Amino acid sequence: MVCICWDVRLQRRVAIKRIPVANPRYLDDESMASTAGEVLAEARTACLLAHPNIVTVFDFEIDEAFAYLVMEYVDGLTVAELLQRVEGGALTHQEAAHILSSVADALSFAHENGVLHLDIKPTNIMIDRAGTVKLADFGMATLASAAGYGGARGGTIGYMPPEQIEGGLVDERTDIFSLAVVLWQVLTGKSPFAASSAEASLDKIERGPKPPVSKTDPSLAGIVEDALFQALSPNPQDRMADIGDFARDVLADLGDPEDGESSLRELVGQSSEGEDAGDPGWGVRHLPFDVRFPWAETAIVRLLTAALAFLAVRIALAPVLEHDASATLTGALAAAAVSALWPPLGSMLAGAATVAAVATTLATNMSFPLSGLAALAFAFWWIVAGRRAHLASAALLLPMVTPFPIAGVALAIYALEPLEALATGMAGYLFGTFFALAVEAGFAATPLVYALMETFVRPEVWVIMLGCGFAALAGSAFVGRGSVAAGIFGQLLGCAVVIAGLIYAAHVENGGIWTAPDASAVACAVSLTLCMCVATALRGPLQWDQEGDEQ
């Protein structure tokens, strides 16, 4: 996979290629792992060749599963793309001469530095808007061999000579063969050894390329055709030993490379008209909101959590401080400030204030047990989910300070892992209901206990609470897939499950009669879902390898 990306540090476009390098066959074999490591190091060296006709690799990194190449972005077309766009799938002699001359220069430089390409093909030859030809993917065939992908060959069927197909020794003549195949295709529009399998391609090579290029284009008879046949010999000993010899033989009778460069510049320019490739503003427009403004999401989460903590703590502290307005406001502001510094503390402080209010307001023999159970429930949720994500506190506090205990589901889907979202969806409904009843009872334990008993013996309450939990679980599971589309679908799915829970709860509450659910609760669920869908779109993909402009 190749993705076009924006280097935010140097303000330039780059192409990042990811190649799998982990193979289960190596995991339990130390000698094979050592050999693979040596070849990977060799591939790194090959990738970092610097030449005007070689795509520049800025960085090369390897982890346990993949190799990553950060390369220059070539603003243009591959030869394969160009052949698809021209009449007959073939280029003029001058254009072919320019491609041959440029690729031969790149290969000559690589061979002088002891590096083979081993995967020369039209998709690895690029032409930019200036008509400059660049050879890409040096070291990729070596990587493929090291990782055990594609057998020991590492090349592409139709462009590999027999010695590479059969896993034999390869040298500079292997690259000469592949370049000759590309040149044949560029001149005739057909790949002479294309086949569905390596064996079928090998059979075609043994029989020789047919028909001869002179039958397609009589002007190619003589030096060009003879050089191509020699370079395409099944036996490497019959080919030229040096890429420069092959290029000189062909170029002597093919055409002027400079004229070809001018023609290719015009072709690539025409093919790229209307595209934004050269637009200097491309990078900014294509970056997700959180990359352009990396501070924004954190600032919003901190402000939201601080505001919610302020509201919850102010309500709960009032009876504790005997309704001293000044002291209550000071305490709420302090809680908001602490929550802004570390959002997970917001839910902890709100829970502590609520527990303190229940324990101290009109204290009875029910006060300590009830406040103790509430403290344990708050602490359990905070350990399981509240301390793990900054937005978790907001997902719990929002149901507490609004009339809607279902309000935390959309936030839980957006920010939490599935099991944490499950716990938060149910806890948000539970604590939201508890807080609303506590406020109604003036935080006095005795009436609060009776209100809780009356509320939680009703089956529809459990239906909604379970619905909130499973909505958060299902939605978060889709968000975890990483793409924007999956994130939005997860939000919509969670909203649908919540509304379904509300509908079924109304059905249960009304003795089996289907009635409309609470319209305000439905409106709350829909509104929050839409807000989080917008946030998901602005955030962009969670896993960058799943989206991007591929080529």
Q: For 307-328, what is each residue's pLDDT tens digit?
A: 999 999 999 999 999 889 999 9
Q: Specify the amino acid at residue 423.
A: A
Predicted confidence at residue 35, as pLDDT, reads: 44
- Residue ranges per structural domain of the chain: 75-272, 293-550
Predicted confidence at residue 470, as pLDDT, reads: 97
DSSP 511: T
DSSP string of 41-83?
HHHHHHHT---TTB--EEEEEE-SSEEEEEEE---EEEHHHHH
Bin 167: left if φ > 0, else alpha if -120 < ψ < 50, else beta. left
Q: Specify the amino acid at residue 72.
A: E
Q: In what order do the strands lie in the sheet with 76-78?
A: 76-78, 125-128, 133-135
What proportions of the chain, in percent to the nearest 5, are helix, strand and coil? 65, 5, 30
Q: Judge whether 119 counts as a catalytic residue.
A: yes
Predicted confidence at residue 478, as pLDDT, reads: 94
pTM of the model: 0.58
290-321 as b/e, with b when 16 or more CB fall inside 10 Å?
eebeeeebeeebbebbbbbbbbbbbbbbbbbb
Contact residues for 84 (Cβ-Cβ < 8 A; gap 6+): none
138-163 as b/e, with b when 16 or more CB fall inside 10 Å?
bbbbbbbbbbbeeeebbbbbbbbbbb
CA count, 13 A, side-chain hemisphere, 54: 23
Distances (CA, A) of 114 to 42, 45, 103, 483, 497: 10, 10, 16, 42, 62
Cβ 422 vs Cβ 469: under 8 Å: yes
Other Cβ atoms less than 10 A from the Cβ of 86: the count is 14
Predicted confidence at residue 37, as pLDDT, reads: 58
Predicted confidence at residue 306, as pLDDT, reads: 97
For strands 133-135 and 549-550, give the pairing.
unpaired
Distances (CA, A) of 164 to 36, 118, 125, 203, 385: 18, 8, 20, 14, 55
Predicted confidence at residue 544, as pLDDT, reads: 44
User: Residue ranges of the chain with pLDDT lower than 70?
Assistant: 1, 20-47, 64-65, 139-154, 271-292, 542-551
> Which of 63, 105, 119, 217 is flagged as catalytic?
119
The CATH T-level fold of domain 75-272 is: Transferase(Phosphotransferase); domain 1 (1.10.510)
Distances (CA, A) of 548 to 277, 470, 483, 495, 539: 15, 32, 10, 28, 14
